[in-house]
Amino acid sequence: MRDTDLILNKYIESKVLDFKNRVNAYSARKNYSKSFLNSAKELTKSDIVERFNLVKNNLSPNDAVKLMRNLVTSSAWISFSSARYIHSLTNFKSFDNKFDFDKVNYRFFNDLKSRKPIDLSDEEIFKIIYNEVEYAKYHPNYISNLEEPKTDITIVLIPGVFNELFSTPSFERACQHLKTKFNIKYYTPEVNGFDNCLKNAKSLRKQISKYVSDNPNEKLWLIAFSKGGLDSLHYLVDYSEEQDAIVGLSTIASPILGSNSFNKKFIKTLNLIHNFSDSKLYQLIDGKKDILAKEMQKSLSSTFRRPWLRNNHQKLNQNIFYTSIGFSAKWYESHLWMILMKMFIRSKKDNDGVVDTESSLFPYYFERGIKLGILDGHHLIGRRSSFYCQEALIEAHIHFLKYKGLLF
C-alpha cells in the first residue's frame, strides 16, 4: 500500500471516529436531558401530592403560600427541563467533550483504589475525580475507572440562606440520587437561613441530638451549603462535647471568611432603615420579622467572620475532618438571580454571584481544613431544577474522602 493510501485511510478513520464521537455525544446529551425531564415530572408529582395531603384537612394561609410556591417552582422546573430536552433534540452542532481519553491516567485510579500515595495536591486529586464522575454521568456508555460511591455514613444536609425561596434544600436532589441508587441515608434538619449563626447552632444541636438518640448506631457526615457551613462551624465550636457521632464537615460555597457584599453602597443604603429602630412602626414590624435580616448580615460579614474563625478554629472538634469547596462564574454564566446579584452587588474578585472564591476555602492557618479548590458554577447550582450535575459533586466527595481514609 502506498504512503498516500495510508494517509488517506488514517484521515478517513479519524473522520469516522469523530463522527461516532459526535453521535455518541448527541445521544448522551439527549438521554441525560430526557432523564432530567422525567425526574422533574416524578418528583414534582410526588411533592405536590404529599404537600396537598398534609394540608387538605386544615389549610392555613401559610400552608396555602407554600403550596402555591411549590406549584410555581415545579411548573418552572418542568418548563425549563422540557426546553432543555427539546434543545437537545435539535442541537447537532454542540460537541461537549472536555474529557481527553488520551490523557486518562489509569495508574492514578489504580493508586486511588489502593489508597497509595499520589504526588498531587488535594485540589488536583479531587478535580480529577470530579471530572471522571461528571463525564460518566453525562455519558452513560462510558465505563468509569471509579467504583460505586458506597458508604455506611449518614449525610446530614444543612441548607443555606436562600433555602426559604425554594421547595427543597440545596443539593437534596443529589442526596436523593445517592439514597435511591446506592442506599446512602441522608437527613435534613430545618434551619432558618435568615437567622444568625448562634440561633441556628442551637437549632442544629437540638435536631441532631434527637436524630442521634433515635439512631444511636449511625455516624454522621455534615454537608453544609452556603450559610449552612457557618451555622455548622458555630455548632461544632459551641457543642463539641456532644459530637461523638459526627465524622466530618464538608462546606460547599460557604463564605467561611465572610462576605464583603454588605459593605457595598447598595446594601448600606438599604440598611439606613435601621436608623429608625426607635420608631413604633419599625418595632411593630421588627417584632415579627427581622427587617433586611440584620442579624444574618452580621453573621455573614467579613468583619465578623474573619476574626471569629481566627479566634475559634482551635476550638473546633479535633476528631473530625473538614473540607471546603467553592465556585466561580462569569455574570453571563449564572442563574438569573445571580446575574441580578452581580449587577447590584458588584465585586472585583472572582465569585459565584454571592460568595467570593477566596472566602469559600479554609484559610492557611486552619491546617486541618482540606481545600478542594474552585469549580465552575454559580451559587444556585444546588437547587433541584439546576442542570448542573450536583450528583457528581457529592459522589466525588465520597471517593476523595474514602481515598483519604476519612469515610468508610
**How is domain 101-403 classified at the architecture level of CATH?**
3-Layer(aba) Sandwich (3.40)
What is the per-residue pLDDT for 271?
46
Tell the residue number behind the cell numbers 456508555, with chain if given. 141
> Among the residues of 313-370, which ranges form H helices?
336-344
Nine-digit cell string for 193: 437561613
What is the per-residue pLDDT for 262?
53
The string of pLDDT tens digits covering residues 146-169 is: 999 999 999 999 998 766 566 678
CA-nearest of 258, 256, 239 to 366 is 256
What is the per-residue pLDDT for 306?
92
**pLDDT confidence of 195, banded at 50, 70, 90?**
confident
Average pLDDT, rounded, for the chain = 78
Question: Helix 122-138 and helix 390-403: axis angle, to 10°?
Answer: 140
| Spatial CB neighbours of 130, under 8 Å, sequence gap ≥ 6 | 375, 392, 393, 396
Greater pLDDT, 215 or 43: 215
Percent of the chain with pLDDT over 70: 61
What is the per-residue pLDDT for 97?
47
What strand order describes the sheet that includes 321-328? 186-187, 154-158, 220-225, 246-252, 321-328, 369-376
Average pLDDT for 108-126: 94
In whole angstroms, what is the distance from residue 342 CA to residue 332 CA?
10
Which of these ranges, 79-88, 333-342, 385-394, has the smallest mean pLDDT? 333-342
In whole angstroms, what is the distance from residue 335 CA to residue 329 CA?
10
**16 has pLDDT over 80:** no
Dihedral of alpha carbons 375, 381, 382, 387, sign: negative
In whole angstroms, what is the distance from residue 342 CA to residue 264 CA?
12
In whole angstroms, what is the distance from residue 297 CA to residue 313 CA?
21
**pLDDT confidence of 141, banded at 50, 70, 90?**
confident
**335 has pLDDT over 70:** no
| Spatial CB neighbours of 326, under 8 Å, sequence gap ≥ 6 | 253, 352, 355, 357, 359, 360, 361, 373, 374, 375
What is this structure's pTM?
0.77
In whole angstroms, what is the distance from residue 90 CA to residue 289 CA?
48
Secondary structure class of 398 (helix, strand, coil): helix
Greater pLDDT, 170 or 33: 170
Alpha carbon of residue 15 to chain centroid: 39
The string of pLDDT tens digits covering residues 297-313 is: 677 788 889 999 999 99
Which of these ranges, 56-70, 94-108, 300-314, 377-391, has the smallest mean pLDDT? 94-108
